[in-house]
Each structure stands twice: as structure tokens, then as C-alpha cells.
């Protein structure tokens, strides 16, 4: 019998685009030299299935009214910030992807979480494909981890990992990292699109069929996105990003997808010599170095998921030496700065067309909600006029193109957070003053336009 010819295809290692022939530029993501030749997988009927996740399902469809409602119990850790980001704890059977820059602390965080769960008499399997068991032990000794139920395995073969999961029956599994795991039936190298896709699919079957929560670590590209096919983020239940500056000790754990909780939730940690320590009140951290009476500085109460966070926004407006003024922003969408400057020019009369503008969110936080518009506009006007705002004022509101201040969500939580930190006045949209009780320790001023906000916030 003649041997069947093995078919090959070319797969983009950035986005997963497949082509029958090699192309210099990927039509999917437009990156150069990312298509790699791979051998197509054999038909599913001839492939070897794993013992845990490869069982054929005999389930039948059920009417949704006949399905019994049951609240899924969560596994809580000792880190309240970690529980908050996940929506209240770890959901059994969930598959969670956590990404971040190399050396940011992903392995340290997951090793600490594993130790805390093992201390609660829950067996934990920590699988490292990048380090040996002795190297993992060195990190554990530095973190003071001494849990008998924390099992460490240095393995990259998915079949062997599945067998160990079946034998140990852990309550929690960590895969560090998914780019090092390979499946023998897939001919491409570990870390390729095919390997990452297949291994993640099998890990999802293991998690769902055994109700075991699995955390997988993913490498990130130079642009900051998780490496591998985009479908990887669609397959998992939650996607977490571990962010932070290398020159600062603070780290931010942010959820961008969560099927069991709020998205855009944020947890703050501080990197210490003995490991990560959670920061319970991040507003104090972001405002502790704020200079009093400086022009161009405002404070805004931004919602990060379900939590209000007070953050300082700084603006520097200076005359331009070139024909095209510069517009630079850090921590916010750079397209928002020229838009707000155009509103200030047209509706307030500030001559900003020949001014360079530099906007920064202090503390390395990234803000993307519309409620920060008013604080940005006031900080720009404050720097341009060289007139400082009151240090005990908070600015909240969305700015429209006609100069109006529009309603924002969750104003009550924002004001309560400002009152808790000792601020005396909140400038917010007039439409937000209805339907709730203002705390006695703080004054809330409603404004309708940007002009009204500047008259209140920059008045001497």
C-alpha cells in the first residue's frame, strides 16, 4: 500500500493565519516573516487521545428549564486582591490565562497562590516547563513556602502531565508556561500556533471534565499582547495581565476577560524580597507623592471594575518651537488629548493650537473610561493658565464635543472613596446629583459645561 503524502501548510506564529504557500507578509496581522511551515495533523480518528480529556461524551441536550440552578462554590485564597480580580475566588473547572512581561513576577504570584491553597489542605500541582524542580525549590525557599501538599513537576509532554493529574487528582494546577508544553501528535515545535492551540484545548477538557481549575502562564510579545493565536484568549474562561514598571516595586493584576466576574478589575501588589504583598488601598499609593499647589495637576476618581481608585493626572502645556505642536500622552488614549484641546479652544477660548501638550497618569496606571475627560481638560487649562487647582478637589465627568459635562456611572462609590481619603469637594455632572445621599464630610458641586468647571475649579 502506497504511503500517503504528508501535507504541509504555512501558519503565522503571531495570529494563526494559515496559507497553502509561503508568504513574506501575513495577510492576517500584516507582520513580516512570521509564516512557518508545519505538517498538517492527521485525521482525528487516527490520533491518540489523552486518558483524561479524550473521552467521548454521551450527554444529550436538556431543556434549560429542566436544568437545576446551582451556585458554583469558589476557592478563596489568602490574597483578597487576587480574589477580587477573579470575581470572588477561583472557580472550579475554570481555565485562566495570565500574561505579563518576563521577570514581572508571574511565577512568584502563582507559587504564592499555590502555597496558600496547599495550606488549606488542597493538593496543588505546579508544572514548570522552564525550570527544574530544584530551581522552583530555590524560589519556594526564598518565599518561605513549606507545604507538603504542593507538588512540583518539571515536564513539557502533555500526555505525561495528563497522567500525573489523573494520579494526584489535585484541586489546583499551574502550567508555567503554555509555550513550553507540546503534544506528540502535533509535528510542529513547542510554542508554535498549532502546539499552543492543541495543548490549550486539551487542558480545557481536563479542567472541565474533572472540575480542576488550571492556570496557564502565557508569554507576551514586544507589543504587550499574549503570544500565540488570538483564539487562545477566546478559549479560556479568564485572561489576566500582570503589569508593572521594572523600576518600581508595584505590580498591577488586571482582568481583561472574565466569564465569572467583572472585567477591567484591578488588584495592586508590591514586590518585596519575601514575595508579593497585596496593597489594600491603592489610592493612597497613587497620591502619596503628589505635589501641592502645582499647576496642571488634578485628581480623578476612576472606576477599575467594581473599585473606585483616585489617580493624579498631570499636564504640561508649553509653547511649541515647531510648526506641528506635539501631543503626547502616557496612561490614557493619545487620541483623547487633541479632542479635548479642540473643545477647550472652541468652547472656552483657550489658544492651544501653538502649544505642545504632555499628559501623564501618575503611578503607571492606564485609564480608559470617559469619566476622566473633565480631569484631563481641567489639568490642561490649569497648566496653560499657570493656575493651580485646589489640592482637595476631585474632578469627574465625561466631556462632549459641545462642551457639556455628561453623566457618569457609580458616582456614589467615587464620592465615598474621595471622602474616605480626606478630599473636601467633588466637581461632577449636575445630572449625577439626583437619587443618592451625599456624605456629610464632602461637598459635591454640579456643573453643566467645561466653562462652569473651570470657573469653579480654577477660581482664586
**pLDDT (tens digit, 9 = 90+) per residue, 271-317?**
888 899 998 888 888 888 888 888 999 999 999 888 899 999 999 99
Consult the annotation and say whether 101 binds a ligand: yes
Consult the annotation and say whether 100 binds a ligand: yes
- The single residue listed with the C-alpha cell 480608559 is 368
pLDDT number for residue 223:
60
Instruction: Give the Cα separation of 104 and 106 in Å (integer).
Output: 6
Instruction: Give the Cα separation of 91 and 95 in Å (integer).
Output: 9
Consult the annotation and say whether 176 binds a ligand: no
Consult the annotation and say whether 321 binds a ligand: no
Consult the annotation and say whether 103 binds a ligand: yes
pLDDT number for residue 187:
78
- In CATH, what number does 80-280 get? 3.40.50.300
Instruction: Give the Cα separation of 200 and 206 in Å (integer).
Output: 10
- The single residue listed with the C-alpha cell 526564598 is 142
User: CA dist 204 to 198, 199, 208, 226, Å?
Assistant: 10, 9, 6, 18
Consult the annotation and say whether 102 binds a ligand: yes
Q: Which CATH class is domain 285-457?
A: alpha beta
Q: What angle do CA 125, 81, 138 make, to 5 degrees?
A: 40
* Least confident interval from 65-74, 176-185, 223-232, 399-408: 223-232
Consult the annotation and say whether 106 binds a ligand: yes
Task: Grade residue 196 by pLDDT with cuts at 50, 70 and 90.
Answer: confident
Q: Model confidence over 175-184: pLDDT tens digits? A: 998 989 999 8
Q: Model confidence over 102-124: pLDDT tens digits? A: 888 899 999 999 999 999 999 99
In angstroms, how far apart are the furthest CA atoms of the chain? 93
DSSP secondary structure, 24-47, as one string: SB-TTT--BS-EEEEEPPPPGGGS
The answer to whether residue 226 scores a pLDDT higher than 70 is no
Consult the annotation and say whether 141 binds a ligand: no
Amino acid at each position: 500500500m502506497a504511503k500517503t503524502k504528508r501535507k504541509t501548510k504555512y501558519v503565522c506564529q503571531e495570529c494563526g493565519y494559515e496559507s497553502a504557500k509561503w508568504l513574506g507578509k501575513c495577510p492576517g496581522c500584516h507582520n513580516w516573516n512570521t509564516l512557518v511551515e508545519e505538517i498538517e495533523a492527521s485525521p482525528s480518528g487516527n490520533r491518540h487521545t489523552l486518558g483524561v480529556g479524550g473521552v467521548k461524551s454521551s450527554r444529550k441536550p436538556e431543556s434549560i428549564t429542566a436544568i437545576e440552578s446551582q451556585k458554583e462554590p469558589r476557592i478563596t485564597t489568602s490574597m483578597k486582591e487576587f480574589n477580587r480580580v477573579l470575581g470572588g475566588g477561583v472557580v472550579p473547572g475554570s481555565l485562566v490565562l495570565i500574561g505579563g512581561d518576563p521577570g514581572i513576577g508571574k511565577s512568584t504570584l502563582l507559587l504564592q497562590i499555590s502555597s496558600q491553597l496547599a495550606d488549606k489542605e488542597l493538593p496543588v500541582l505546579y508544572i514548570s516547563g522552564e525550570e527544574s524542580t530544584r530551581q522552583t525549590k530555590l524560589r519556594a525557599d526564598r518565599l518561605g513556602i513549606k507545604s507538603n501538599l504542593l507538588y512540583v513537576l518539571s515536564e513539557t509532554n502533555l500526555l505525561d502531565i495528563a497522567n500525573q493529574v489523573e494520579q494526584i487528582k489535585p484541586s489546583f494546577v499551574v502550567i508555567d508556561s503554555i509555550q513550553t508544553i507540546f503534544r506528540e501528535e502535533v509535528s510542529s515545535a513547542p510554542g508554535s500556533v498549532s502546539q499552543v492551540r492543541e495543548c490549550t484545548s486539551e487542558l480545557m477538557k481536563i479542567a472541565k471534565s474533572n472540575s480542576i481549575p488550571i492556570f496557564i502562564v502565557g508569554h507576551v510579545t514586544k507589543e504587550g499582547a499574549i503570544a500565540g493565536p488570538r483564539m487562545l484568549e477566546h478559549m479560556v474562561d479568564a485572561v489576566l495581565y500582570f503589569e508593572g514598571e521594572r523600576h518600581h516595586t508595584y505590580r498591577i493584576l488586571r482582568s481583561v476577560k472574565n466569564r465569572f466576574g467583572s472585567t477591567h478589575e484591578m488588584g495592586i501588589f508590591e514586590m518585596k524580597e519575601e514575595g508579593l504583598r497585596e496593597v489594600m488601598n491603592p489610592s493612597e499609593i497613587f497620591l502619596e507623592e503628589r505635589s501641592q499647589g502645582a499647576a496642571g495637576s488634578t485628581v480623578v476618581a476612576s472606576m477599575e471594575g467594581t473599585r473606585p481608585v483616585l489617580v493624579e493626572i498631570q499636564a504640561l502645556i508649553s509653547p511649541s518651537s515647531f510648526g506641528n505642536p506635539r501631543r503626547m500622552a502616557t496612561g490614557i488614549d493619545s487620541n483623547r488629548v487633541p479632542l479635548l484641546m479642540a473643545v477647550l479652544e472652541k468652547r472656552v477660548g483657550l489658544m492651544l493650537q501653538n502649544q505642545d501638550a504632555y499628559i501623564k497618569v501618575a503611578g503607571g496606571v492606564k485609564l480608559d473610561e470617559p469619566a476622566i475627560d473633565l480631569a484631563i481638560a481641567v489639568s490642561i487649562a490649569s497648566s496653560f493658565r499657570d493656575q493651580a487647582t485646589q489640592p482637595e478637589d476631585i474632578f469627574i465627568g465625561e466631556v462632549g464635543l459641545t462642551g457639556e459635562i455628561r453623566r457618569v456611572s457609580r458616582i456614589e462609590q467615587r464620592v465615598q472613596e474621595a471622602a474616605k481619603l480626606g478630599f473636601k469637594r467633588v466637581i461632577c455632572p449636575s445630572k449625577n446629583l439626583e437619587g443618592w445621599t451625599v456624605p456629610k464630610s464632602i461637598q459635591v458641586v454640579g456643573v453643566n459645561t467645561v466653562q462652569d468647571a473651570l470657573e469653579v475649579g480654577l477660581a482664586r
